[in-house]
Structure 1
């Protein structure tokens, strides 16, 4: 009887250890940059959900550098993580990192920005084309069908920049709006300020600006305020700073994503994949206009 109790106790302890080991599996999130409130929110959402589900989440910052991104993923394959969530620096360049994970048989889930090559089990993002269209319709409604507009583009090569621009141009091309200029400012506030200063000089008659994220919108807003002009500015992402600027009447609107939800859904999806469940290849996250 004593041997039976000892055997049962040992089996129970072994079972508990197995559950604990499973619960503490390492998964990782590789972000294009943590120098942007949007991606910080994404990280926070992922961390909260990982803690809730019992995973240890490794967070790595690629600093908007594809070579750093590749190095991060290489490091993760050596560390033996069970799944990788990645927010690409560039939809083409990230392919090398994803193929590296593929060879290591580590499932990859892309967040916010897609990958043009490599095997990805799921992509979680807002409908960026629809968001760009929302921005275009808002400007048309506020300024009129003949509005003179400028677009500030994100990082060239990212799916987010391409799709947001596509959506915005869908509205511009099917209306009488005049696109005065469309230039990259790399999703960066300081670059948004500098590019907008130059564009205001070149196009003093601009009436509205669509910036493909709130950081560029806030930079453009500073340039416009310094010039003394009245120009409607619409951003994208719905960051804390962006929404605050809308509430005080400085920013016309922002197309709000839910970055924390994107991060959380990434962890939920990784959990399902690791449990052998089927997941959708594309998981959309709702957008809303904040004005």
Structure 2
């Protein structure tokens, strides 16, 4: 329901009953949350975190999905502008392709607060809150090297090429792994963050490289697809390391499957973006730099049991 219509209905209800509904008393306006598909639990955690925090702070919310399609994302920004959104929380559909939409919202007086993925220009969004992907990738690579015993053939599954994070993570991996001459990368291919695609790619990689000893993946979803393919081939001896900190990979680690992942705090990051949006709307400033990095945490058999919905408990 259009937010203005909801407020109008609230006013009508006051006249009829003399009681002001809670949303009419507390609503501070509409926050639009735009993410990739919630089929990936990481993006679902982002959307859920932002949605919950915005409602706690008294905002109406509209949660939308761009499916990594920049054209669809542009249309969703038009929707947000037409709805009179107060702010937009965005995990974008491309570092270059998203700049124009964020600028259009800014020109309409709607500030954007980015999470997870950066865009290529500064001064367009108010905040860009991203995980320290390079630091996290180095953590994952160090664990991978240790698990591999510093030697053997391995493959790398890359994320979507249009996503800056894919390149940063791969660089972080290689800046560690390439220091070990006995670790030999025999295959490297994108699976576009997809579990289904990773399964197919892993099947081909394994057929071409029967001596494969390890797989390092740009995210957990691809790691899950790779491990499923390895399991189907009876090759559960192959070491798999992911990146994200999903509950699915946590369960696999605890069951002795995938060996490690790197937690990036999706839920907390999204809530932080909403907090900054609220502060900006209230005071005109977040009081922080536009670009903000959040460090990642290695997850392995030692601490996997403490992981829940992209957050590490006690």
- Tell me the TM-score normalised to structure 1 length: 0.90
Looking at structure 2, the residues matched to 159 and 21 of structure 1 have their Cα atoms a distance apart, in angstroms, of 42
2:211 is aligned to 205
Aligned equivalent of 2:100, options 76, 87, 96: 96
- Paired residue for 1:286, among 275, 295, 307? 295
The one of 261, 264, 268 equivalent to 2:275 is: 268
Partner of 1:72: 76
Q: Look up the match of 1:54.
A: 58
More helix by share: 1
* Contact 2:260-2:298 within 8 A present in 1 as well: yes
User: Aligned pairs, how many?
Assistant: 275
- 2:136–2:295: 8 Å Cα contact kept in structure 1? no
Q: CA deviation at 1:22?
A: 7.3
Give distance in 1, aligned partners of 2:178 and 2:108: 45
Instruction: Say which SS state the counterpart of residue 129 (structure 2) adopts.
Output: strand
Deviations 1:157-178 (A, max 9, x none): 1122111111111112222221
Root-mean-square deviation over aligned CA pairs: 1.9
Which whole-Å deviations, capped at 9, do the CAs of 1:10-45 have from their partners, x for residues lacking one?
Answer: xxxxxx99x967743111111022221111111111
In the TM superposition, residue 154 of structure 1 has moved relative to its aligned partner by 0.9
Using the alignment, how far apart are the partners of 1:157 and 1:170 within structure 2?
A: 21
Contact 1:273 1:279 in 2 (8 A): no
Partner of 2:242: helix, strand, or coil? Answer: strand
**Matched-pair contact (CA < 8 Å) for 2:33–2:51:** no
Q: Deviations over 1:176-209 (max 9, x none)?
A: 2211122110111101101110111112222111
Q: Which deviates further from its counterpart, 171-180 or 160-169?
A: 171-180
Structure 1's consecutive aligned runs of 4 or more residues displaced over 3 angstroms after TM superposition are 19-23
Distance 1:87 1:147 in 2: 36
Tell me whether 1:131 sits opposite 2:136 in the alignment.
yes
Residues 84-112 of structure 1 deviation map (CA, whole Å, 9 limit, x = unaligned): 11101211111221122122121111110
259, 263, 268: which one pairs with 2:266?
A: 259
Gaps of 5+ in 2: 1-19, 301-314
2:160 matched to 1:151? no
